Amino acid sequence: MKPEIVSPRREKLLSSLQDMDAVILFAAREAKLEKFSQENNFLYLTGLETPNAIYFGIKSNHSNVEYLFIQRSDPEREVWEGKKTTPEEAKAQSGITNVVFLDEFDGIISNWCPAINRIYSNIGHQAINAPLSYAMFRLKPIKERYPQIAIQCITEKISPLRKIKSEWEIMQLQKAIDVTGKGILDIWENAQAGMMEYELEAMLFYRIQRSGLKHWGFAPIIASGINAATLHYEKNDCQIGTNDLVLMDVGASYMNYSADISRTFPISGVFSERQKDVYSAVLRVQKEIISMIHPGVSLMDLQKRTRELIAQELIELKLITEASEVGKYYMHGVSHFLGMDTHDVGGRTAILEPGNVITVEPGIYIPEERIGVRIEDDVLVTEEGYCVLSQNIPKEISEIEEILKARQ
């Protein structure tokens, strides 16, 4: 990321604060032998993948003051961990002028504290039965020393920014979606009954990394047969049976923006009549819900309509007799915001605005018939209505069967 992208975000955030309110964001901490993954609010505002850093911004006398605190390099540790980000690099990447080392944090913050009213931080959910988040652990001494300072979660301040995607953000998401789509095609061109679910996962991950992307956006779901009825099945360790439907819920991440796509297909290459009926029911509902999307519609409206439509379909499929029984075969939300987090900030009840990106993902799950179908697309809300960012990933029965026919 570049300062031209992240500096305006910080300016917007700080200008939305009251005078003498501050933001303190903690970068993710390095964990030994684990891949580093930056905290998304920190990344959104600084563009830095630097571990253990701290961002401090304050609106003071109606102008903004900012500091970035980073780790000092330690030649002995460099043998193990490689070079640390230098102050010059951090400044060039983030656009923050005051870059100092972490050991100056206490001194600099103490000077500001007597005048600060509120600190917004990435404290996360503070469940009473969970350990303190790292941010809360670091802010506790400040709160004890300066009880007038209210500590609040950054989410309420940063969600309004993060949920409206810029053109640049949409380009990153589009790339994540396109590569995910190519990987799904790889699977359709190569998967065979008898393979393990994780072999299909490997085909897609190979495509992701060969395309210059590094990560999954979330743990991929490759669920065959009855496994598709487990909504967040992630084991992917079963053998695919000859007549199984396979539900794939997958997404690559690019520049920390996550795709989230579900497609369901018959490993045999041809949907059975019953599989076809269930699949067509889900597809009809999905298309109808997508067509409702425009600014002013709420996520709750989409959810309510989905339940109504799926209930009608389930009655047609002779699975239920009363609409009130819909929860027996459809039990999850139809939509969530998508972005740096797969389940992105913005809530589940928001009213849609241009620049939002949401998923549309109805499903029907019938464990007694070994059938689970979910079809999920990623949709940008536009001034006029919507644009399906994943429109190039086939979902019609005829298209999927045609592709599967070409398998060796």
User: Interface residues with ligand GLY (CB under 6 A)?
Assistant: 218, 249, 260, 336, 342, 361, 376
Question: Is residue 282 a contact partner of residue 245, using CB atoms and an 8 Å limit?
Answer: no
Phi–psi pair at 25, nearest 5 degrees: -120, 135
Report the C-alpha gap between 300 and 180 in whole angstroms: 28
Stretch that binds Mn ion, among 82-90, 139-147, 226-234, 256-264 (CB under 5 A): 256-264
**Min CB(342)–ligand GLY separation in Å:** 6
Cβ proximity to ligand GLY, 201 vs 376, nearer residue: 376
Burial class (CB in 10 A: 0-12, 13-18, 19+), 50: buried
Largest CA distance in the chain: 72
Q: How much is the CA Rg of the chain, to the nearest whole Å? A: 24
298: DSSP letter: B
Choices 155-163, 253-261, 275-283, 304-312 (CB under 5 A): range interacting with Mn ion: 253-261
Q: Which does 50 bind (CB under 5 to 8 A by kind): ligand GLY, Mn ion, none?
A: none
Q: φ and ψ at 46, to 5 degrees?
A: -115, -20
Burial of 316 (0-12, 13-18, 19+ CB in 10 A): exposed
**Edge-to-edge, what's the strand order for the sheet holding 377-381?**
357-360, 377-381, 386-388
Of 66 and 260, nearer to ligand GLY (C-beta) is 260
Q: Which two tokens stand for residue 73?
A: 């390099």
Give the C-alpha separation, 365 to 232, whole Å. Answer: 12
> Smallest distance, Å, CB 44 to Mn ion?
20
The item of Mn ion, ligand GLY, none sharing an interface with residue 218, based on CB under 5 to 8 Å by kind, is ligand GLY
Total number of residues that touch Mn ion (CB under 5 A): 4
The one among 169, 249, 313, 401 contacting Mn ion by CB under 5 A: 249
Bridge partners of 262, per DSSP, are 249, 376
Is residue 359 within the footprint of Mn ion (CB under 5 A)? yes
User: Binding segment for Mn ion among 101-109, 121-129, 299-307, 354-362 (CB under 5 A)?
Assistant: 354-362
| Residue of minimal Cβ distance to ligand GLY | 249
Kindly state whether residue 264 participates in binding Mn ion, applying the rule CB under 5 A.
Answer: no
Q: Does 344 bind Mn ion (CB under 5 A)?
A: no
Give me the least distance between CB of 363 and ligand GLY, in Å please. 9
User: Of 38 and 342, which CB lies nearer to ligand GLY in the complex structure?
Assistant: 342
Positions in the binding site for Mn ion (CB under 5 A): 249, 260, 359, 376
